[in-house]
Structure 1
């Protein structure tokens, strides 16, 4: 497999989860489109490692590998295909590397909604700084990023996503639906970089329909993206 084919495989995996992006990306400046895809694919790799599978040990090992990889990016060294696009950016990759142990720790079910957001604080800070460098300034980005990440967890790794308080209130059968409802209210689309606002807009559209993982129809995706681009 060539370097380009390997890169495309990771981006295609992200696109498979976000088919609406083919609509939303028309609002992204052309020169940012490939970096956006590579960056979102990287975050998918990291969050899948942190939250995926019934056994946490493979994910822990993968995150450990990523710590070394991201530290290498700051020194001009790369091994992962996504580094073809991202590593050349003078972003604080070591800050993201340093946040990965806390991402691993966020696998534990949060106590309540505030704890769910707080668990991701260190990661969100690193992501916000990198996105600001890659895609432009955005005040209030941390709230958007945190809610977006919590949506990703609910959509793709729902097992322990709902906080204990939600579980106690809604019961095992209703916890995911209740947490979906709460996140739909708490996910903003203003104050972050445009790519992040667009993704948050799509996530909120999904959550409002009550299906965190189910893509929204093209016309709804267009409307959500247009509104997010204007925020």
Structure 2
């Protein structure tokens, strides 16, 4: 399988995910060619589901799109697929049953959590369902608790970066507003700078301090990017930019690949 043989929809979806997290371009280069379509499709699917659940501004659109994706994921559990991403994944099998229901449950619940653990717990049904599939796709260890927690923190990190003015107020828990003496509608203002740094540090500290062995490759990539981004946010600075960033991403992707579980897949075929 060559890059030219990949489904056009798969390539476009992966490009969208890569634009959000540029390290995915480097990471794909360390995946064996016969497994690359599965890696790209999974990364892109996580991007689509995250956007659908957390980033659509109109709750009615969220309900429609999450309903469509839930139906599609239930179809994968039965061996059927319509979307380019699920078509690339369905042949690999996996415990897809229940993923659609977990997606709907999380998409319909944006009530503020009381604290860090409450914020993570609210996301765990979907995180655990997806990590089970991920473990199957990439041959990762059966224990899903720590990787699922990491995925939930990943979503909370992205809500902190892009959800400050949304109705869920970035899913920042109520205890943070009480601690800093602020209202939820002040989250995006300069008066909440210390609150946002404090929350970023809490999220950073909720992640493993080192890269665990045996995790799926996408989860290790996510863990690396989350630690770096949250550390920058906790220090009140943006992510690093510049010519050295690309080399750093290649090096970090290689380091993650050394520790990762990465199952070989047969060459993918795509239908139109």
TM-score range, shorter chain: 0.7 to 0.9
**DSSP 3-state at the match of 1:209:** helix
Number of aligned residue pairs: give it. 229
| Structure 1 partner of 2:44 | 41
Deviates more, 1:169-178 or 1:91-100: 169-178
**DSSP 3-state at the match of 2:149:** helix
Q: Does structure 2 retain, via aligned residues, the 8 Å contact 1:6–1:81?
A: yes
Structure number, greater radius of gyration: 2
Deviations 1:183-213, CA, capped at 9 Å, x for gaps: 1222224252122112211221122122798
The answer to whether 1:181 aligns with 2:192 is no
Unaligned runs of 5+ in 1: none
The answer to whether 1:221 aligns with 2:257 is no
Task: Using structure 1 for the length normalisation, give the TM-score.
Answer: 0.86
**Cα distance, 1:31 vs. partner?**
3.3
| Structure 1 partner of 2:110 | 107
Q: Does structure 2 retain, via aligned residues, the 8 Å contact 1:202–1:224?
A: no
Unaligned runs of 5+ in 2: 1-5, 260-272
Query: After superposition, where does 1:163-178 map in structure 2 within 5 Å?
Result: 163-170=173-180, 171=182, 172=187, 173-174=192-193, 175-178=195-198
| Structure 1 partner of 2:13 | 10
| Structure 2 partner of 1:208 | 231
Given candidates 158, 166, 184, the residue that maps to 1:152 is 158
Given candidates 131, 134, 140, the residue that maps to 1:131 is 134
Q: Does structure 2 retain, via aligned residues, the 8 Å contact 1:20–1:215?
A: no
Cα distance change on mapping 1:26 and 1:213 into 2, 3 Å: farther
Q: Larger relative CO (CA 8 A, sep 6+): 1 or 2?
A: 2
Deviations 1:106-144, CA, capped at 9 Å, x for gaps: 433322100111001111211121011000123432222
Pairwise CA RMSD: 2.5
Q: Residues of 2 paired with 1:31 and 1:205: CA distance?
A: 30
Deviates more, 1:117-126 or 1:17-26: 17-26
Deviates more, 1:124-133 or 1:106-115: 106-115
Deviations 1:45-73, CA, capped at 9 Å, x for gaps: 11211112332110111111111111112
Task: Using structure 2 for the length normalisation, give the TM-score.
Answer: 0.74
**DSSP 3-state at the match of 1:148:** helix
Cα distance change on mapping 1:222 and 1:48 into 2, 3 Å: same
